[in-house]
Homo-oligomer: A and B are copies of this chain.
Amino acid sequence: MANTKAIIITIGDELLIGQTIDTNSAWMAQRLNEIGIDVVRRVAVGDTKEAIWNALDEELTKAEIVLITGGLGPTADDITKPLLLEYFGGKLVRNQMVENHVREIFEKRNLPVIERNLMQADVPDNCEVLFNARGTAPGMLFRKEHKLIVAMPGVPEEMKSIMVAHVLPIISSSFHSDFIVHQTILTAGLGESFLAEKIVDEESALPDYIKLAYLPHYRFVKLRLTGKGKDHERLKKEIEFHKNQLAKKLEEHVVALDDFTLEQVLGKLMTEQGKTIGIAESCTGGLIGHKLTQVVGSSKFFKGSMVCYDAAIKSSVVGVDENTILEKGVVSEEVASELAIGAMKFMKSDFGIGVTGVLGPKMEGDVPVGTVWIGVCNHDKTITQSFHFPYGRDKNKEIAADVALLQLWKLTQGKI
């Protein structure tokens, strides 16, 4: 049995001129996958009647479920509702529950309700109205020739709320699909092609209903196994088996056996061992602290970060010796080391990270763009290492933060 297919149509000129990055579709795809629905295509179209109409016509021939986001706001560029009205041939009726909800939202915010907002409560009489707890525009569900078409607002929180409360339960009860199981291995230190060579036997031993994908991201490659089948338990066991076979072959390059980020791996490790991290970061500007505090429960292991962007702050706040900076330069092995040790000392933490570098666009003195010194330490030892990142400013920053966390992880594993 082939799985039920879904297609996501996102509406909005901002997606086509590159002003907005679409994060909704990834979230929706994950949720649909969990209930055994294959997303087979994602299509983005602009705010024109013709483009939306044609997309609906075409995509309805390719899938059982079509989910539409965007174009449901209260302003003139929002044309999805009148279009759906015409497409499915209904007429607009005022929905009392939605109207009350809209009035309530504006009352709570001490704002007057204007007719433009109340019009959000006008819905086609031939759709199921999906209550939007987070905003004024309700979702709308249409059924046509055993197919399901749902329109939702594009605001992420509103779309998510409608998906969880209404769309996913309705889909789960209306369609029966094969189970889909994903498993992921996070690896570091080996490029995509070298990984592939190492596991060539394991990869060719995979049955045809289990696929392996390589997802490279700078110094990391994620390996993802995806299987489909009717026997959920057996499928899970099989994928687990193949994952372990791969991991055995890749041993020292495996960072995590789950779809974890590196900061989640570190967070788990620190929490289990009751250890803490303190940071002094310069060129990464707070990004390492930001990454670690994305982990739920980070207050258990993250003490803080001293973002010492200005050179004088490195001395006055983190305690780096002024002479070290004068003699060795701000971007140097010695400063990275003193930053890591200073962080550990002032934060009273078990581990320290120190980062100093030049990310671009311009050189700093005679230090070339992309040079970053990273120090990591515990109370026994300090390891410093220099890196040269070849990208633009933003990417160099991102990768410097990742590599600093990777260095700390290596220190905890005795790998450096």
- Tell me the A residues contacting B by CB distance below 8 Å: 12-23, 25-31, 33, 38-47, 51, 55, 58, 73-77, 111, 114, 116-117, 134, 155-157, 182, 184, 191-194, 196-197, 203, 211-216, 222, 224, 226, 259, 276, 279, 281, 283-290, 292-294, 296, 298-299, 302-310, 312-313, 316-317, 346-348, 361, 390-395, 397
Contact = CB atoms under 8 A, between A and B. Distances in A.
A216 B73 contact: yes
A133 to B, nearest CB: 10
Given A77-B211, A216-B73, A347 B17 contact: no
A165 to B, nearest CB: 15
14 contacts: A15-B26, A15-B42, A16-B41, A16-B42, A19-B215, A22-B25, A41-B45, A76-B212, A111-B191, A114-B197, A116-B193, A289-B309, A294-B394, A303-B313
B21 A33 contact: no
Nearest to A21: B26
A217 to B, nearest CB: 9
Nearest to A223: B75
Given A114-B197, A307-B307, 15 more contacts: A15-B29, A19-B26, A20-B215, A41-B45, A77-B211, A77-B213, A285-B294, A286-B288, A286-B293, A289-B289, A289-B309, A304-B306, A306-B306, A313-B346, A317-B347
B310 A303 contact: yes
B13 A226 contact: yes
A249 to B, nearest CB: 15
B33 A17 contact: yes
Main SS of chain A's interface residues? Answer: mixed
Give how many copies assemble into the complex.
2
B296 A285 contact: no
A301 to B, nearest CB: 10
Nearest to A77: B213
A299 B312 CA distance: 12
Contact of A16 (B21, B40, B75, B191): B40
A389 to B, nearest CB: 11
Contacts of A216: 73, 155
Nearest to A364: B299
A212 B13 CA distance: 10
A362 to B, nearest CB: 9
A15 B224 CA distance: 13
Contacts of A184: 19
Nearest to A224: B19
Contacts of A55: 41
Contacts of A45: 40-41
Most buried by B among A19, A42, A214, A346: A19
Nearest to A29: B18
A212 to B, nearest CB: 7
Contacts of A394: 294
A40 B33 contact: no
Contact of A316 (B196, B292, B346, B391): B346
Given A20-B26, A26-B21, A307 B289 contact: yes
Most buried by B among A55, A287, A302: A287
A17 B76 contact: no
Contacts of A393: 296
Nearest to A279: B307
B305 A196 contact: no
A24 to B, nearest CB: 10
A284 to B, nearest CB: 8
A312 B51 contact: no
A45 B41 CA distance: 5
Contacts of A211: 13, 77
Given A74-B192, A203-B76, A39 B17 contact: yes
Contact of A306 (B21, B40, B317): B317
A249 B215 CA distance: 49
